[in-house]
Amino acid sequence: MNAKGLGSVICLAILAFSGELRANEPGVFADVTPLVKNAAAVRLALPRPDIVLAPTESLDSSLPPAFSARVTGFVRIVEEATYRIVASQGTLTVDGNAFTRPRTLTVGDHPFVLEWKRLPNAQPSVLSVSWSSNLFDEEPVPASAWVRAPSASGSDMQEGRRLANALGCQNCHTQGGTEAAMLGPKLTRIGSRVTPAWLFAWLANPQNFRKTAVMPTMNLTSDERSDVVAYLASLTNTSAPPVQTQAKVKPTVDAHGEDLWKSIGCLACHGSEGDTLAGLGSKYLPGALSAFLQNPLKSNPSGRMPSFLLDEDDANAIANNLMLSRNKAFESPAPQNANAAHGKALVQERGCLRCHVIDGTAAVPDASSAPAWNTLKSGRGCLAPVPPPKSPRYALSDRQRVALTAYLGTPNNAPAPRATFEALVDRFGCRRCHELEKPATIKFEETPPSLNDVAHKLKPAWLSKVLLERKRLRPWMNLRMPHYGEAATPLVNLFSAVMGATDNAKSAAPRASDEQIKEGVRILGRGEEGLACINCHDFGAYFSMGATRGPDMVSMFERLQPDWFKRWLKAPARISPGTQMPAFFAEMPAENADRRIANIWGALSLGSALPPPEGLNMGETLILPVAAAPVIVRTPWRGGSPRSIVVGFPQKISYVFDPDACRLTGVWAGGFLDVKALWSGRGGDPAKPLGVVRDVDGNAGLSLSPKGDRKAAQYLGYTLDKVGQPTFEYELGGVRIKEIVVPNPAGQGLRRTFTIPAGAPPLWLVVPPNDVIVTSVNGKASAGAFALQASPTKDSTWSFDLTLRGRP
Amino acid sequence: MVVRFDIARPAVMRSLVAALVFFTTTSAWGASPLVYVKKATREQSRQASLQATQQALPAIPLEPWWRLDGRFEVPPDGVVNVDVPPSGQGKLARKWRKAPEIKDGVEHRLPAPTQLYRTITLDRDVAATLTFGIDNGIVINHDGKAVHVTITTYIPPIRVLSIPLRLHKGTNHLQITAGIREKTTRFWFALSPISKMVTDELEQRLDEDFPRQTEDAYYRLQTIATPEGVPIEVGGMAYIKNRHGETLLLVCTRRGEVWTRTLQGQWHKYAEGLQEPLGLWAKTLDEIFVLQRGELTRLTDENQDGKADHYEVISKHWNLSGGHHEYLFGLVRNAKGQFFIAMCALGNASRATYLGWISRIDPAAPMDQRFEPWAYGVRCPNGLALNANEQLFVTDNQGEYIPSSQLYQVNKGDFFGHPGSMFANPKLPPWSEEPTVEELGKRRKAAAIVFPYGVLGQSPTQPLFDTSEGRFGPFAGQMFVGDQTSSAITRVFLEEVEGVTQGAAFPFRKGFQSGNNRLVMGPDGSLWVGQTDRGWGATGGKEFGIQTLTWSGKVPFEIKAMHLANEGFDLAFTKQIDAKSVKKARFTLRHYHYPFGRTYGVAPTGHTNVTGLRPQLSSDGLQVSLHVPQVIAGRLYELKIEGLSSRDNENLLHDYAVYTVNRTRSNVAADLSETKR
């Protein structure tokens, strides 16, 4: 319970409606003047003042490394206290005054000015603003505290640069920005992926297929198009036939694929606001979409579509559903007898290869010359309202044209970490899922970690492992952090640069003494003096002992910056309002808290050599056997109800029933339960099944429609028969249902039987595909959902056999 | 060995003989230094003997202490060079300095940690006793070796400990780190040349002259055999009648089973597969309700084969998160058939609901209207009771916002101080802001009884009213409260003062085998105590079991009740008092309070002695009045009585009582509100 955290959330909610807030856009403005004669100031919109600049770098690529900046905006204060706010460089005033001493800031937005004259020298310039108050220790001012008045004069130039990068302008108009512009997909084996019909229609107008498509309409006649298509279609994987791993496309929605689609994060980019994937069934050759999903970076290394680390089955399931959507306009066969050789020449000459790579095929030099970036004029070429016939036709809005125009002629004076960072974050869609200097745009049921403070939180080496080596820390989350491939490499350092963070791990305290380590380990454990951290955090290979699962402790030292760790332990709710992490150290004197935190850190520094804390369940077990009669245990269940009902049968098969949702959570064969966590010590923690649990009902189960719709179920209890097998009774949509699950009399597995009263409205048993095969014994099958139509005159029963796939 | 007699009595000869025998038997290995002085009472004799013994022994020469603020690493040999400032942490230069202000035997408030160091130079070996009091952690090093270490996990009231200290000839180096946690520590210290051997000997002598009265002489403790191999970790108990009119004890266990036991001791498993049931209410085999974590369940045996076969949900309106602290406690039922339950506040409020709430469940209502949140702000309410007027009482365990364990009288809408509950009722509108500790303190309803922590138990469990009508002794109508940690039972007397329920608590019986979790009155008027200590801990040491207390028929000499009077307290006793002893007896009354706050475990403060009590014995010899012109509301009045005897010459079995004053009769001092905090 964290009343404090909740309290501050509520406070914030109230503040949002009070009149004291003068600014409502996250970020600050920087008016930057190059330190050269007669230079004009450039206004930049930045998410925060903090930055690390290498000697040759600048705040924006249009600016030279030497400049004077006047950063303005407001500091948002949500708790009245005595504050001290300091900048590592320049002069900072808040409400017109510098902080010669701490002073009280009331709740509301306080205008600030930071004057910074940056003269590069051999060392990187680090600008970071931190604060401290009587309520909390020194910390970097959180991104959420920087706000500015909404302003139309926000930087069009910056937006134009972002667009130019996304559209790949500089791929043709060279001598432009220094950031590598995004490339389109590789066309090396395009013929193995998509249909010629689709290619032919796509080239005519990509936006007809997908409104948000980047690809412009190229200046090609219909004949030229068919030649190009003939060439591209010939680019197949010659060493192997097209991938055929995917079973035939099922005519119905694959529920597992649907589950994945909704839960792993596809909707972050392909939701109602994102890129539609309609018509993919008309685009891909059989099996090719699944192959693409298994490794999108192979054909599209830009990272715009990252890899979700899907295995073949998962990819097939998702691909199956996407392939159900067709677009007839993209299925008219491409003209036959086209000239592929001519098509190849066109691809080489017309500039296709400026954005696309075809291994072994080079562009004809200078065949498609476009004016250099710095010679472009507004309202001409691609930017004209009606572009001339030879220009590629981009689907640009007026707003986008204004932004691109503002970017035209912008000099390129220095690399700018913030600009590079924004381009990559934009391409990867980081801000869709993560809070990063503003709230995440998509709200999922699960919240991915905030990136606001990530450079102060994580060591760069760990960030690199996450971004480049696919290290993942929260395996219990359904939402997946995808893999962006090598394109993400620059982010590792850019996070530090844009947050003004320096790696403080190096200046950490010296190695802890044995005594300190001992105390640290004691605190992690459940014994005397222990805070029982292992209850909620994973410990190496061992799961947390309670129902809550928090990040692994063994890798904390490898992952976290020591300063952040200390701040987190002292006031978790400051960093993550509403976190389940208790503020263990908030109430004790600072000296004691610091000592204990240092000792924990000392212990964590042992990494995988960290000795197991007291009370860690390392496979010690308390096995509950099943003898002649079924055994019932009620226990919280990992991933299930906290009041789950588990039933084990002498036939060495068990199931777990969820009395909250009235669903069959899972079944397993083999041993019954390890009740150590439930019945030893304070107990009450989830018992562990002694077998591989296969999901059964998932989010569906007995439903009011074939799609798995349900209303709240009302569990009423159970009755034991002579053998001791429970028959559950519950109400679903006003219908009183009885359900009994018993070992299958006909063989292996279980048989579940529903009894439905006379005259009940129709019900469906909807079981998502998984490792349990459901076969109807007397019900009528309809793929994925079984209809249970009650008799009008008498109670009726339906039985289903559950067979465990791959049972030993 | 010297024996002195103040009072000439015929017993002199007997004592003299005994002393001589003792002398001869001990002379073989050296004379005991005990100087035994017999006085009128055991306590007076003890004090006088200790004083005389100390005087007879050569004193230990004590140098003044050296002190140092902050941390310090003791050298391996324990020799501290006070001229060398310690290296290491700290902003200010720290130096050892002489500390004549720290006097032995006097309580000091010191910054924590404070280092103390002194040398003791002796011309002989001395088996000394080191006695100290501290409300914090402490490390004592003798010649560089730790002879005592306490690291506390909470801050209890000051604790007094005696440890043997073998001082040797030559220079001894004594170093103490007083205070390990928090900012300050209360600390006192005394070194006596009297060894534990001598004090043990003294107790033996006292036992001879003043035979001890034991609780067991009045209330006999017996252990009930439980079925072999079955952990009867009691979560609830009830006495019921089966269909044949036979009386059965019904027990539910933390592992989810329900057992019956006949009066002859035959056990039978009646139900199983429940989720840690900590509440049970039953009248007959057909009317059994168990409170599981996840639901209130009715158990029935529909096919009448002697085992429950229908597990019917009465209510499962609350949400759980699966956290192991989400205990549900119960179970009581009023005449209208409605149940009361209470939920621990220590769960995970992001998912669980009604944490820290006491709720009412009406099984007669439609399912969605059965559950009604009733009162809130409790922390770990492991015990409910209804009195004859159907007033609800709930105990609560000490911790954050609950400065000491207590007993509430619960009315609808009451709030008791723990804010965990404020975010746990989905039907309440969100609180506009988190209340401050001050506001919580003001809003909360004061407990009817505060149990001083560590003095009257440590974690109260079920309260039970004595409905034996005298078959359980002289306390009919009073309340007994089980205690988990101290394996004891506390007795409670309640009265209503101007509409407010309050009263006094007394020690009743200790020495149980395990944590006393549940109580029920047996059909013969005995008290049945169901026990478990798994994960919770209890001094008894046994993991689980059932014990009974039976009244021997002998009335103990006890303070039966402590009434608040207009000007003071009226003490009622179980037996007539020897009028002479009232004059000689010492009545010590002091008051203090537990400050409300969010810290886990706080020490009581503001101890004030009350003088001028002028004890007056009533004409029937059963009551003593103590005169206190200004009783202050918001205070605990703690009474100790020494030297009082009954007309049949018994000493008090328990000499202690504590009265929780929420309201005074005269209202003179009802407005001393600042003392409430």
Q: Which residue of A has its CA nearest to B418?
A: A3
What is the model's pLDDT at position A709?
Answer: 86
B263: pLDDT strictly greater than 50? yes
Q: Which residue of A has its CA nearest to B345?
A: A1
Contact list, A592 vs chain B (CB under 8 Å):
181-182
The tally of CA atoms less than 13 A away on the side-chain side of residue A162 is 19
* Spatial separation of the C-alpha atoms in residues B251 and B271, rounded to whole Å: 10
pLDDT, mean of residues B507-534: 94
pLDDT, mean of residues A643-661: 95
SS3 content of chain B, % helix, strand, coil (to 5): 10, 40, 50
Interface touch B313/A717, C-beta < 8 Å: yes
Q: A4 in contact with B at a CB cutoff of 8 Å?
A: yes
A747: pLDDT strictly greater than 50? yes
> Smallest Cα–Cα separation from B402: which of B414, B392, B417, B420?
B417
Could you please report the per-residue DSSP string of B117-178?
A: EEEEEESS-EEEEEEEEESS-EEEEETTEEEEEE--SS--S-EEEEEEEEE-SEEEEEEEEE
What is the model's pLDDT at position B534?
Answer: 82
Render pLDDT for B530-588 as a digit per residue (tens, 0 to 9). 999 887 877 777 889 999 999 999 999 999 999 999 999 999 999 999 999 999 999 99
Distances in Å between the Cα of B89 and the Cα atoms of B86, B94, B138 are 9, 9, 20
Q: Which of residues 481-540 of A touch B (CB under 8 A)?
A: 528-529, 535
Render pLDDT for B484-504 as a digit per residue (tens, 0 to 9). 988 999 999 999 999 999 999
Angle between helices A398-407 and A156-167 (to 10 degrees): 100
Interface touch B323/A547, C-beta < 8 Å: yes
A732: pLDDT strictly greater than 90? yes
Interface touch A642/B310, C-beta < 8 Å: no
How far B486 CA lies from chain A's nearest CA (Å)? 18
Which is it for the CA torsion A166, A168, A173, A179, positive or negative? positive
Which of A88-102, B100-114, B266-280, B663-677 holds the top average pLDDT? B266-280
B618: pLDDT strictly greater than 90? yes
What is the model's pLDDT at position A578?
Answer: 66
A19: pLDDT strictly greater than 50? no
How far A457 CA lies from chain B's nearest CA (Å)? 25
What is the model's pLDDT at position B20?
Answer: 37
Residue A115 makes CB contacts below 8 A (sequence gap 6+) with: A68, A69, A70, A71, A90, A91
Question: Which of B311, B316, B346 comes nearest A1 by C-beta?
Answer: B346
How far B180 CA lies from chain A's nearest CA (Å)? 9
* Spatial separation of the C-alpha atoms in residues B578 and B306, rounded to whole Å: 57
B361: pLDDT strictly greater than 60? yes
Choose the weakest-confidence range: A33-37, A426-430, A490-494, B90-94. Answer: B90-94
pLDDT, mean of residues A174-183: 64
Question: Which of B276, B309, B431 comes nearest A684 by C-beta?
Answer: B276
Q: Return the structure tokens found at A145.
A: 């505290």
* Spatial separation of the C-alpha atoms in residues A279 and A286, rounded to whole Å: 14
Our measurement of the distance from residue A184's CA atom to the centroid of its chain's CA atoms, rounded to an integer in Å, reads 23
Interface touch A7/B256, C-beta < 8 Å: no
* Spatial separation of the C-alpha atoms in residues B313 and B334, rounded to whole Å: 19
What is the model's pLDDT at position A507?
Answer: 56
Q: Look up tokens 């590598």; give the residue.
A: A180
Render pLDDT for A348-358 as a digit per residue (tens, 0 to 9). 888 888 889 99
Q: Return the structure tokens found at B615.
A: 């004890």
pLDDT averaged over every residue in chain A: 85
The neighbouring-strand residues paired with A785 are: A766, A782
Interface touch A1/B294, C-beta < 8 Å: no
Q: Which helix (H) or strand (E) holds B532?
A: strand B527-532
pLDDT, mean of residues A499-525: 80
The neighbouring-strand residues paired with A790 are: none
**ipTM score assigned to the predicted complex:** 0.72
Helices (H), A560-675: 562-570, 572-575, 590-604
Q: B369 in contact with A at a CB cutoff of 8 Å?
A: no
A332: pLDDT strictly greater than 80? yes
* Spatial separation of the C-alpha atoms in residues A225 and A337, rounded to whole Å: 12
Q: A547 in contact with B at a CB cutoff of 8 Å?
A: yes
Q: Which of residues 657-686 of A touch B (CB under 8 A)?
A: 659, 679-686
Choose the weakest-confidence range: A204-208, A310-314, A464-468, B45-49. Answer: A310-314
What is the model's pLDDT at position A54?
Answer: 93
What is the model's pLDDT at position B88?
Answer: 52
pLDDT class for A2, splitting at 50, 70, 90? very low
Give the residue, A54 or A509, on which the prediction is more confident: A54
A581: pLDDT strictly greater than 80? no
Q: Which residue of A has its CA nearest to B422?
A: A3
Q: Return the structure tokens found at A162.
A: 């972002």
Which is it for the CA torsion B253, B257, B263, B266, positive or negative? negative
How far A543 CA lies from chain B's nearest CA (Å)? 15
What is the model's pLDDT at position A40?
Answer: 83
Interface touch A645/B292, C-beta < 8 Å: no
Q: B256 in contact with A at a CB cutoff of 8 Å?
A: yes
Question: Which of A14, A588, A631 comes nearest B432 by C-beta?
Answer: A14
Return the HEC string of A20-37. CCCCCEECEEEEEEECCC
Q: A723 in contact with B at a CB cutoff of 8 Å?
A: no
Count the neighbouring beta carbons within 10 Å of the beta carbon of residue A726: 22
Interface test with A, best of B182, B230, B258, B275 (most A CBs within 10 A): B275
Question: Which of B322, B345, B598 comes nearest A686 by C-beta?
Answer: B322
CB A354 within 8 A of CB A155: no
What is the model's pLDDT at position B28?
Answer: 33
pLDDT class for A591, splitting at 50, 70, 90? confident
Q: Return the structure tokens found at A257.
A: 């694929």
Q: A70 in contact with B at a CB cutoff of 8 Å?
A: no
Q: Which residue of B has its CA nearest to A531?
A: B153
B16: pLDDT strictly greater than 50? no
Q: Which residue of B has its CA nearest to A615?
A: B535
Q: B293 in contact with A at a CB cutoff of 8 Å?
A: yes
